[in-house]
A and B are shown apart, each in its own frame.
Chain A
Amino acid sequence: MNQPRILIFACRWCGLIGADAAGKKRIALPTPFRVIPVECAALVETDAIIRALADGVDGVAVLGCHIGGCRYNNANHTAIKRMELLKDLLDTTGIGGNRLMFSFGTAHEDYQFEEVIKNFFDELGPLPSLGPWLSPSGVIR
């Protein structure tokens, strides 16, 4: 079975350090994921998520700080509001809102990172491929 491919946008103050710590502790994780560090979860453009899905990524995770614990005061509030609207759009079109995950964590929560990612892999596994959406223009990269 093909494992789903995941793209992770991790805020560099919380999510990224958590992911790093998970690596240092040698926690066993499913392999096909990439982490892209961003300054803040609110800086992740929804367009980038859409573009990633179009380029053949099966799921996108956005990791930010806890609500109220954001380095930039209230920035992650706006991020989660935006992501949930995008989930609505993905649900409408049948891509499925569960391809987008938003999670909060702090820098020392490496085991939480492990659990979040493993659960996300489990959720994406049975989902159909985005094939019908990708083929007509002839680009599956």
Chain B
Amino acid sequence: MLETTKNMARQILDEKKADGILGLMKGQWDIIQPHVFENPAELDNLVLEPKWLLAKLAMRVLRSSSENYTLAVICRGCDERALIELIKRNQIEEKTLLTIGIACSQEQAALCLCDRPYPAKLDAGEAVSGVDPLEDERVRALLIGNDTQRMEKWADMLRRCIKCYGCRNSCPICICEPCKLEDEVWVQRGTVPAEMIPFHLIRAFHLSDTCVACGACQEACPVNIPLLWLQFSMRKTLRERYGYEAGLDTETKSPVLSSAFEKPDSDREYPAWIHSLRERDGS
């Protein structure tokens, strides 16, 4: 898989399809770090492990370079979905971006509880089947029980929060400027731990229909709060009710933004008289 990726990256640089390749480099003292490869000779140092979300970095690279700069990103499934979501939000121009998709291993998929551990445009490696996160033992243990028990379990975990904003900063899709989590109106400032309901729920809900389940938030969390698990049931609802999953293509908009005519719920009945409205609107 590594050789295929290297060859492909070399080809892209030789054919001048892209000006740079964003990937991981094993540098001095074997330290692994993200790097923009612009010279084919450098590509010998390219590595693919560990999992490293490059989407936000790709956005920064593209923003700080000239207008015609094209970048190829070596990305995993989650990374590709995040890039697609960023394109949808007009943060990256689609024509300046190329992707080299690599598949994750079965162990990595099990570690991330990933239900789609491969990119849509797969170039190297073989796609393995995903894991259903809601079937996982640990997730089930957290989600069973009545409201009080669940509240206590979550409160126990969220009480550890040191409000480092790592979850927000590492998230490839958290891009709002200014951020509501820094606003006194929504979240009390200057206290630790973070107020549990506003801080964590506002953050989680802002990503409800955009979360690509990459798990960057919980990997960044210094106190091991499983923040990604907040998203699973919302992702399931979106999938079951509207057949929507974030980051699969650049065209489909979130069903939350469209009316019930364009994107009807599968389990709700609408009164017949609203059809006259549909004819009036022509939608």
Tell whether, in the assembled complex, residue A78 and residue B154 are in contact, meaning their CB atoms are under 8 Å apart: no
Tell me whether A89 and B151 are in contact in the complex, defined as CB-CB below 8 angstroms, given that A47-B186, A47-B202 are known contacts: no
Interface size on B, residues (CB 8 A): 50
Tell whether, in the assembled complex, residue A137 and residue B261 are in contact, meaning their CB atoms are under 8 Å apart: no
B258 within 8 A of A: yes
Tell whether, in the assembled complex, residue B202 and residue A133 are in contact, meaning their CB atoms are under 8 Å apart: no
Overall SS of chain B's interface: helix
B residues 223-265 near A (Cβ < 8 Å) are 229-230, 232-234, 237-238, 255-261, 265
Tell me whether A89 and B259 are in contact in the complex, defined as CB-CB below 8 angstroms, given that A50-B198, A51-B198, A84-B237 are known contacts: no
Contact of A78 among B208, B233, B256 (CB under 8 A): B256
Smallest Cβ distance from A40 to chain B, in angstroms? 13
Contact of B274 among A54, A68, A89, A136 (CB under 8 A): A68
A31 within 8 A of B: no
Q: Which of B36-44, B69-77, B80-88, B141-149 participates in binding chain A? A: B141-149
Tell me whether A50 and B159 are in contact in the complex, defined as CB-CB below 8 angstroms, given that A78-B256, A96-B147, A132-B152 are known contacts: no
Contact of A46 among B149, B197, B205, B283 (CB under 8 A): B205
Instruction: Return chain B residues, CB-CB under 8 Å to A139.
Output: 188, 191, 195
Give the interface residue-count category, chain A: 35 or more
Instruction: Return chain A residues, CB-CB under 8 Å to B186.
Output: 47, 51
Max chain B CB contacts within 10 Å: which of A46, A88, A127, A137? A137
Interface string of A81-92 (1 = CB under 8 A from B): 110111011111
Instruction: Return chain A residues, CB-CB under 8 Å to B151.
Output: 93-95, 128, 130, 132-133
Contact of A50 among B201, B234, B258 (CB under 8 A): B201
Nearest CB in chain A to that of B234: its residue? A88
The 6 closest A-B pairs by CB, nearest first: A94-B150, A68-B274, A94-B151, A74-B259, A54-B197, A77-B260
- B interface residues, Cβ below 8 angstroms from A: 143, 147-155, 159, 180, 185-186, 188, 191, 193-198, 201-202, 204-205, 208-209, 229-230, 232-234, 237-238, 255-261, 265, 270-271, 273-274, 277, 281, 283
